[in-house]
Amino acid sequence: MNANQSIGKCFGTGNERAEKNPTTPMLRHLVYKIKSTGPITVAEYMKEVLTNPAKGYYVYRDMLGEKGDFVTSPEISQIFGELLGIWFISEWMATGKSAAFQLVELGPGRGTLAGDILRVFSQLGSVLKNCDISIHLVEVSQKLSEIQAVTLTEEKVPLERNADSPVYMKGVSKTGIPVCWYRNLQDVPKGYSFYLAHEFFDVLPVHKFQKTPQGWREVLIDIDRQVSDKLRFVLADHVEVCPDAGVVIQELSQRIALTGGAALIADYGHDGTKTDTFRGFCGHKLHDVLVAPGMADLTADVDFSYLRRMAQGQVASLGPITQQTFLKNMGIDVRLKILADKSHEPSVRQQLLQGYDMLMNPKKMGERFHFFALLPHQRLRGGSHQTEARPSRPSVAPVAGFADLAWR
């Protein structure tokens, strides 16, 4: 079975708009490109389809929510972001309550997650009162950055814009915290920082390879010889590699090792157990990755074992553990009860319960999504690579989420 046949079986077209518009501007662009320079890699295909400055899927559309192509945990329940906010405060406290820290989010979506975290920071203002906090968002999409600004910033304080600057937008949050936008992680100032990557690594471009009697050969995307405006895979039976993810992890590791802090990564993925996960989503349904490019999201599961290797021992890593385990350790059950008890509207309570089920149910997000953390070695009191959440010395505070949350 060739790759096109296998994908055709697994992924039916997921949305009428894609079926009605198979010859998209992006498809015409790709066909011209392939005719001019030859077949392209899967990584190049993903990069063009998702982030092309003129036609990219992520650049000019809001793809999140019920009307979009997929929904994320922060959009499902406020509890998710609140518990992540608690995680950052817990780590800040466990590592000595520094006088300042940066919260850096990679791919912040609509800003919902950052907004929920900022609300927790405000509610626990008495704990953070002497800490100078700033928010730094790494976002390539102009459309999403504008939505983030509406979600996060105070309307009375005008946004500063400078398209030619590494900091292309600046604002102030509704609680008075400075917010800056960047296109690249490398442009974010170095310093004591907490990094957050929620459903960020799964959309980074992947290369696919096939093992043949002659050795490993890369899977490419070419024009179908039978149908001129249709694309096809040239090879099948894949292994996926994501060099961009390795670059980001190395950058995060160097920063954390140098200046402290931590990185929390939440995504769907595996620990080196899967080989072919490249797929598309359109209208909340699986979608053939080669049909109507530019109209659907493209994604591949994160290989957490690869991320661990790419850290190259510069920092310690924890996980991956399932989202269900992480959120339970963070106290989601207690938080749900508090919110449900406060609510006098049956519809609100029902929404809370439905959100909880989506986040925690093993058949939904509970076991599909995983959490993974990078921390300085000294945080776990060991010079060597560690994967166990509980440190050997009882005097060291356990890392929340990977063990039960314990306030001090």
Query: What's the half-sphere exposure (Cβ side, CA atoms, 13 Å) at 52?
Result: 19
On the question of pLDDT at 386 being above 50, the answer is: no
Check: CB of residue 33 under 8 Å from CB of residue 40: yes
On the question of pLDDT at 105 being above 90, the answer is: yes
* Pairing state between β 239-241 and 207-212: antiparallel
Give me the pLDDT at residue 279, please: 92
- Region 249-275 average pLDDT: 96
Q: Which CATH class is domain 61-206+242-378?
A: alpha beta
Confidence at 155, pLDDT banded by 50, 70, 90:
confident
Among 58-62, 72-76, 389-393, the minimum mean pLDDT is found in: 389-393
Domain ranges of the chain: 61-206+242-378
Output the pTM of the full model. 0.87
3-state secondary structure 258-325: HHCEEEEEEEEEECCCCCCCCEEEECCEEECCCCCCCCCEEECCEEHHHHHHHCCCCCEEEEEEEHHH
On the question of pLDDT at 389 being above 70, the answer is: no
Confidence at 393, pLDDT banded by 50, 70, 90:
very low
Per-residue pLDDT of 70-95, as tens digits, reads 477 888 899 999 999 999 999 999 99
200 Cβ neighbours under 8 A, 6+ residues apart: 106, 107, 265, 267
Tokens of 222: 């070419």
Per-residue pLDDT of 164-196, as tens digits, reads 999 999 999 999 999 999 999 999 999 999 999
Give me the pLDDT at residue 402, please: 97
pLDDT > 90 fraction of the chain, expressed in percent and rounded = 71
